Amino acid sequence: MNKQGMLAAAEAVLDVERALRLAAETVDELGDVAASSLRVLDEAAVDSFYAHQEERRSLCLRSAGEHLERLRNRSGLMNELGEDLTRHLTTARNAIEQVVCELGRTTDANDHGTELQALRTQIDVLAEVMALARPVADQIIRHAQHAAESACATDALMLLDSRVHDTGKEMNRADEDVSMMRSVIEHVQLSAHTSSALAGSLSYAASHPPKPVTETQRPGQSGIAI
């Protein structure tokens, strides 16, 4: 095996793991914000319902407007987290491409060919699943942006009902995308962990080649074969 190439591949796999760990943390934050947003949305829906009662209209319109403002803020936060997630995914994807490049320069060795092929297979699977992650991240950002656009306070009852409904639709879709992203990230983290173990084993083997076996001569034995 190519020692430098294998060491570089192993380091790139570690970069993939680091980027995916940050992505997983960001997805957890997105899940928390989405859950909080859905609770606020329920409160806004209650206010929207009671705003149709004449005696409670003024109070409920004001309260619904405050809830919509909170939803706008949370949608903006989800948008920022979505961009962070996209950045981590891009870092992971670039690191995967680096692994593929380095492995392409590494030739199979008779004693480690099976491990090397297993690593290449793992990296191919990792790349395929990662290709699914970016579109989901884009959808999270898009739904968060649409939710923010919908969550505008209004004194018109019909508009209030419509805006609560539209905001809820976008926020629920964003929440579904976050759940999907969590599943994707968990899958690629498992694959990256397996790849890291394989790459570590191969890089160690490349750095510590076996010593050549030399035939030792027994004491008193002639070096001339008869």
% the chain with pLDDT above 90: 49
Q: What is the residue range of 57's domain?
A: 3-207
Query: Is residue 137 in some structural domain?
Result: yes
Nearest Cα to 27, choosing from 136, 110, 127?
136
- 73 band by pLDDT with thresholds 50, 70 and 90: very high
At 21-70, the pLDDT tens digits run: 999 999 999 999 999 999 999 999 999 889 888 888 889 888 988 999 99
Angle of helix 113-150 versus helix 3-50 axis, rounded to 10: 30
- 194 band by pLDDT with thresholds 50, 70 and 90: confident
Would the pLDDT of 222 be above 60? no
- 160 band by pLDDT with thresholds 50, 70 and 90: confident
Query: Is residue 20 in some structural domain?
Result: yes
Query: Is residue 173 in some structural domain?
Result: yes
Query: Is residue 215 in some structural domain?
Result: no
Query: Is residue 217 in some structural domain?
Result: no
Query: Could you give the number of structural domains in the chain?
Result: 1
- DSSP character for 144? H
Where are the alpha helices (H) located in 51-112, listed in sequence order?
57-104
Query: Is residue 99 in some structural domain?
Result: yes
Tell me which of 208 and 19 has the higher pLDDT.
19
Query: Is residue 222 in some structural domain?
Result: no
- Dist CA 48 CA 65 (whole Å): 9
pLDDT computed for residue 78 by the predictor: 96
- Dist CA 124 CA 7 (whole Å): 19
pLDDT, the chain, mean: 85
- Dist CA 17 CA 192 (whole Å): 6
Query: Is residue 226 in some structural domain?
Result: no
